[in-house]
Amino acid sequence: MEIVSIVLNFVLASGLVGTLLFFRSKKRKEMAEADLAELENTEKVVAIQSEQITRLDGRVEKLEEKVDKLEIIIEHKDVELERNRLVIRQAYKCTTPPEQCPVLVKRAELDRSRKQNKQ
């Protein structure tokens, strides 16, 4: 009877150990598959974000060019405004009537010549 007990203990114990080892290996395999799937998903996200960054970088460059052009236009307008302020100050100092004021007459001539040059 003792031999039967030893054999049964060995068979049952090895079955339990085998089952535990099987579940551990199965769990490791499932974890590896989950890690692989997570890695693939991360790579896809990185690829999508890389595409978006490239697209947005192109848009930023275009907007920077527009900003540069607008800065030049604003600078020209500022210069023109300063000229107009100077003319207005000089015209206020002028004692002659506005129709004969040399400052205003000269300004009108300059405006006409600029308009003709633009056309």
Q: Is 89 in contact with 101 (CB distance < 8 Å)?
A: no
| Apex 86 CA angle, 84 and 79, nearest 5 | 55
CA atoms within 13 A on the CB side of 101: 17
- How do the domains of the chain map onto residue ranges? 2-118
Residue 93, both tokens? 């100092």
Tens of each residue's pLDDT in the chain, 119 residues: 677 677 666 656 555 556 666 677 778 888 989 999 999 999 999 999 999 999 999 999 999 999 999 999 999 999 989 988 887 787 777 777 877 878 778 888 888 888 888 76
pTM (predicted TM-score): 0.50
Three-class DSSP category at 59: helix
